[in-house]
Amino acid sequence: MSGSAPSRREFLVGAGGGLGAAWLAAHWPGIAAAHEHAAAVADPHAAHGTEPGAAAGIAPLSFFDAAEARTVEAIAAQIVPTDDQPGAREAGALYFIDRSLATWATSSSAAFRRGLAEFHSAYTAAHPGAEFAAADPETQIAFLADIDRTPFFESLRFLTLLGMFSLPSYGGNRGELGWRMLGFEDTHAFYPPFGYYDRDYPGFVAATNGPAPSSDA
Amino acid sequence: MTRRYRDSEVVDFVVVGSGAAGGVMARELSQAGFGVVVLEQGPRFTPADFAHDELKYYFDHGITNGPAKSPQTFRRTPQDVAKRSESGGWQPLTYARMVGGSSNHFTANFWRFHDVDFHERSLLGAIPGAALEDWPISYADLEPYYGKVEWEIGVSGLAGTHPNEPPRTRPYPMPPMPVKSSGVLLERGARRLGLHPFPAPLAIASQPYRGRAACVHCGFCMGFGCEVRAKSSTLYTMIPEAEATGRCEVRTESYVFRLATNARGRVSGVHYFDPAGHEHVQKARAVVVCANGAETPRLLLTSASPAFPDGLANSSGLVGKHLMFNQNSSSFGVFEHELNEFKSVQATRVVHDFYDSDPKRGLYGGGGIDARIGPNPAGWALAGPPGRQWGKAYKDHLRTFPRTMLAAGHSTSLAVEANSVSLDPELKDAWGMPAIRCTYKDHPDDLRFAAWLQDRCGEILEAAGALQVWRLPVTESSVAVHLLGTCRMGNDPARSVIDAHHRTHDIPNLFLCDGSSFVTSGRGQPTMTIQALAFRAADHIADFAKRNEI
């Protein structure tokens, strides 16, 4: 880990070559194996703990140590925060990210860890002796707003969102909390009416001669 | 029942590719009495092999040509050095690699071309910076085959519904899909503006059709394979009917990498790798390449030999040139109540009032608008509106998902000679063959018209009562799934690659039929026309074979 805090520019450059969408797609072939592994260890209906440690008993972390996990989860929890509905923390995005970096994404896990270390260094340079995960939300948000264009942050955002909205069997989206927050359902079949506006549709009537009469709502 | 041929047997036809065009070709030629071997790069899936797995299908190249085995490079202009793609992980030229090809994962919008699509050069004159040409065929030539697609493949829709509907001799065989809330709102907004929305024609069974089940509205059409056989992919329609003749063999995971030629300058068969990577030669009287607008020109170029130093059928120098994508532009509308657009098919209403290019706009371009779901959950979250892409306000945006629809514009791409598929000079695929190098820069009118159409999309949403309308900027294309124009059809051998019967000008027993045959791009829904061309080409090719003219 870097002994001295990097300058802003060094931080931005140093976090480059991280986990963009392109990188992820290029390294995805191992996902099927990870999928199997995650399905075996993750119980989508358990693990509603608010601390990484609380859930770790059910799905132990494979890649992050406890401090790294706290930071990653805290950042993810600001990307999709918890309010009256679950956010990234409750959906277990951390576990999706951890599983990814420990299995199919191992070839770039070092780059991710380096980006995380640089994040940590930059944070402690700005807030000596403090830990990002322990900061109040305002401090976290202000710091993230300064670094949200870095490849590290973009990679973490990408993974957080995949972890919230992919099939629960990949390790995130626990109990389909991500989908439920969105208002999305995945079932084999739906039947009309599908939504509010097609409920009382009278049927299609062609208006082929000149402008159609305006239809009232 | 499925016939097996030996490599050494001289079959009547090898068809390269089993997708939208190849499936039709295989079925038509085998039903006409010919022996056919279809060589397909990808595997064969059953309905149970498909899944509602966005991660796999959108980010893992689950059924598409991925960069691990088939990398591609991209550049804007011939002056640039092409680089491996950084465009979100999608290949510049993306297609489904499996039996049925991209007819598995397409959205199934089945618009016929209009008459104007075939003779815009005569109608509008030359367009600076573009190679706009008339087709050597007209809408009237293709009309019976559009009907054939609708009935043989299976298309749902409603005829006689809008003033600029192209003429037709038969109704649709199935009624349109049930309207969705987005369709109702598009219809409402468009009619308030004096436009003429109509039910979307879709290659999806709205009721049981020819032994296939009706759609169950699961919502996973675009980018996914159908789990109930309701989507009319050639995997479920043409291929089984071809095999049922007892004359057609579909050989999977068989990658054709070179066309074989003989001393007379004719094609004698194809070289391919089997699943284990071993090389074979399948002999044939004639070859029909239906490998798509990216792989068809690539195969002609990798087949270069001392007799054909620039690749096969390339005396014009135009193999791979004139690549066209179709432009896209969307406006998002947020409404008061739930639409739940994640249910059922993408589009149930369409507007074609802006189909024709109108010189009064001061630019070339035409298009259609449909109402649709747009992305699945992860794609929705990643795409986000302009502004901060994380935090409380972003989460509030995420929750508009069930109340949001897209009015999506689908529009023209002009043919530009520099836009092309060529062979990368350095990069190789997993089999050691030269990788695809894509060169593409949208004609300025393509971008300007897309932005113009996006404004019309926004107006429709506002007229429909949207609480909020937002959009993403129209940008230059760097990824495409509509792969068009790269072996264009024409009467002049110096200015086209195939003739009006899909025979290459240079080699009498080599035919090409797929998106590469297009002379113009249409308005963004090419598969219907690819399949109509395939039915028509198969008629002619079968006639030539019967008369011993191949």
DSSP A123-191: HHHHSTT--GGGS-HHHHHHHHHHHTTSHHHHHHHHHHHHHHHS-GGGS-SGGGHHHHHHT----S---
What per-residue confidence (pLDDT) applies to A103?
80
Among the partner residues B54, B88, B394, nearest to A166 by beta-carbon distance: B54
Residue A100, SS3 per DSSP: helix
What per-residue confidence (pLDDT) applies to A38?
43
Peptide bond into B166 cis (omega under 30): no
The whole-angstrom separation of Cα B187 and Cα B407 is 11
Does A44 score more than 80 pLDDT?
no
pLDDT in tens, A159-197: 999 999 999 999 999 999 999 999 999 999 999 999 999
What per-residue confidence (pLDDT) applies to B447?
98
For B283, other C-beta atoms within 10 Å of its C-beta total: 17
pLDDT in tens, B244-258: 999 999 999 999 999
Which of B 157-196 lie inside 8 A of A, CB atoms?
158, 160-163, 176, 178-181, 183-185, 187-188, 191-192, 194-196
- Contact list, B215 vs chain A (CB under 8 Å): none
Q: What mean pLDDT comes out for the span B95-122?
A: 97
Confidence of residue A59 (pLDDT cuts 50, 70, 90): low
- Mutation site, A198, A205, A208, interface B, largest B CB count within 10 A: A198
What per-residue confidence (pLDDT) applies to A12?
24
Does B442 score more than 50 pLDDT?
yes
A-B interface: how many C-beta pairs under 8 angstroms? Answer: 197
Confidence of residue A151 (pLDDT cuts 50, 70, 90): confident
DSSP structural state of residue B473 = -
Confidence of residue B1 (pLDDT cuts 50, 70, 90): low
Q: What mean pLDDT comes out for the span A54-73?
A: 79
Contact across the interface for A22 and B216, Cβ inside 8 Å: no
For A57, other C-beta atoms within 10 Å of its C-beta total: 10
The whole-angstrom separation of Cα B430 and Cα B331 is 40
The whole-angstrom separation of Cα B209 and Cα A93 is 43
- Contact list, B85 vs chain A (CB under 8 Å): 22
- Mutation site, A155, A160, A204, interface B, largest B CB count within 10 A: A204
Which of B 352-411 lie inside 8 A of A, CB atoms?
377-378, 380-382, 388-392, 394-395, 398-399, 401-402
Percent of chain B whose pLDDT exceeds 70? 99
**Residue B141 distance to chain A (closest CA, Å):** 26
The whole-angstrom separation of Cα A184 and Cα A123 is 36
ipTM over 0.85: yes
- Contact list, B87 vs chain A (CB under 8 Å): 22
Among the partner residues B89, B194, B339, nearest to A21 by beta-carbon distance: B89
Query: Pairing mode, if any, of strands B11-16 and B36-39?
Result: parallel
What per-residue confidence (pLDDT) applies to B192?
97
Residue A40 CB partners (closer than 8 Å, separation 6+): none
What per-residue confidence (pLDDT) applies to A212?
41
**Nearest chain A residue to B161, by CA:** A206
Does B87 score more than 60 pLDDT?
no
Type of residue numbered A146: D
Does B114 score more than 90 pLDDT?
yes
Contact across the interface for A192 and B217, Cβ inside 8 Å: yes
- Contact list, B340 vs chain A (CB under 8 Å): 183, 194-195
- Mutation site, A108, A194, A205, interface B, largest B CB count within 10 A: A194
Q: What mean pLDDT comes out for the span B354-366?
A: 97
Confidence of residue B540 (pLDDT cuts 50, 70, 90): very high
Which of B 473-512 lie inside 8 A of A, CB atoms?
none
**Residue A174 distance to chain B (closest CA, Å):** 15
- Mean model confidence pLDDT for chain A: 76
- Contact list, A149 vs chain B (CB under 8 Å): none
**Residue A193 distance to chain B (closest CA, Å):** 7
What per-residue confidence (pLDDT) applies to B514?
98
Query: Pairing mode, if any, of strands B198-199 and B36-39?
Result: unpaired
Q: What mean pLDDT comes out for the span B129-133?
A: 98
Query: Pairing mode, if any, of strands B367-372 and B279-289?
Result: unpaired
Higher pLDDT, B398 or B58: B398
Percent of chain B whose pLDDT exceeds 90? 91
Closest among B272, B275, B273 to B287, alpha carbons compared: B272
- Mean model confidence pLDDT for chain B: 96
Residue in the block written with tokens 């080699």: B507
Contact across the interface for B339 and A195, Cβ inside 8 Å: yes
Residue A32 CB partners (closer than 8 Å, separation 6+): B56, B60
Concatenated DSSP letters for B20-60?
A: HHHHHHHHHHHHTT--EEEE-SS----GGG----HIIIIIS
- Contact list, A23 vs chain B (CB under 8 Å): 89
What per-residue confidence (pLDDT) applies to A208?
52
Lowest mean pLDDT among B95-109, B173-187, B466-480, B529-543: B466-480
Percent of chain A whose pLDDT exceeds 90? 57
Lowest mean pLDDT among A30-39, A79-88, B193-202, B262-271: A30-39
What per-residue confidence (pLDDT) applies to A58?
47
Confidence of residue A27 (pLDDT cuts 50, 70, 90): very low
Does A18 score more than 50 pLDDT?
no
Q: What mean pLDDT comes out for the span B197-214?
A: 98
Q: What mean pLDDT comes out for the span B142-152?
A: 98
Q: What mean pLDDT comes out for the span B390-404?
A: 96
